[in-house]
A = this chain, B = another copy of it.
């Protein structure tokens, strides 16, 4: 990959994980654990589609799901897809526009998804997907019945081929000639966090949000 995601600097680390070291693997795991949204790139009828979708990570595989009628889900098992997960941590505001950039953590996973048909594995995959974004909900909510399972397509994508890119830290022009300009430079951090749960208006007033939902309010997501 020589693709340039967001900024190229000395601090940008870009490593293929095909022959991964422990550190890179840990970075990949941390990026996956910090989110639940990915962008799935797949070729459908000769056109690239980039589809936002949720994922669940087992540590060795990603699960993706969707309607059995979804064109992108149907096309995915026949071709190599690219799944990208990106967390934005802040804007890098340098002295020069050229050195502006973004602090971020990003993972790209390449592979040919395997459709999951076995009902037990399908349930396990949906548990993984549910718990990725909403820990505790698999135990709390009503689980999928046979009809719902049949209506859901599940894909398994191995994490064997993945790369990680991370940029952290201040701008890179603090020791160059632009430092003499006397301009402010630094990072404007971006924070993401959960708000207070909003009850469904159809909900009876005596049903309170359970602790696994109520306690997330105010917590950062990534």
Contacts and interface: CB of A to CB of B under 8 A. Distances in A.
Interface of A: 1-6, 8, 37, 39-44, 47-54, 66-67, 69-73, 79-84, 86, 88, 90-91, 93-98, 100, 102, 104, 106, 108, 110, 126, 130, 133-134, 137-138, 140-145, 148, 152, 170-171, 174-175, 178-179, 181-204, 207-210, 213, 216-217, 221
Chain A interface secondary structure, helix, strand, loop or mixed? Answer: mixed
A174 B200 contact: yes
Nearest to A133: B91
Nearest to A206: B182
A185 B199 CA distance: 6
Q: Top 9 A-B pairs ranked by shortest CB distance?
A: A174-B202, A41-B50, A189-B195, A39-B39, A52-B86, A50-B84, A170-B200, A4-B70, A3-B72
Contact of A209 (B179, B186, B209): B186
A195 B184 contact: no
Nearest to A71: B2
7 contacts: A52-B104, A93-B213, A140-B183, A142-B183, A188-B197, A188-B198, A189-B198
A130 B97 contact: yes
A49 B41 CA distance: 7
A7 to B, nearest CB: 9
Given A67-B4, A100-B141, A188 B194 contact: yes
Contacts of A208: 184
Residue from A178, A207, A216 whose CB has the most chain B CB atoms within 10 Å? A207
Contacts of A191: 192-195
A70 B2 contact: yes
Contacts of A216: 188
A47 to B, nearest CB: 6
Contact of A95 (B97, B130, B141, B210): B141
Contacts of A221: 190
A130 B162 CA distance: 30
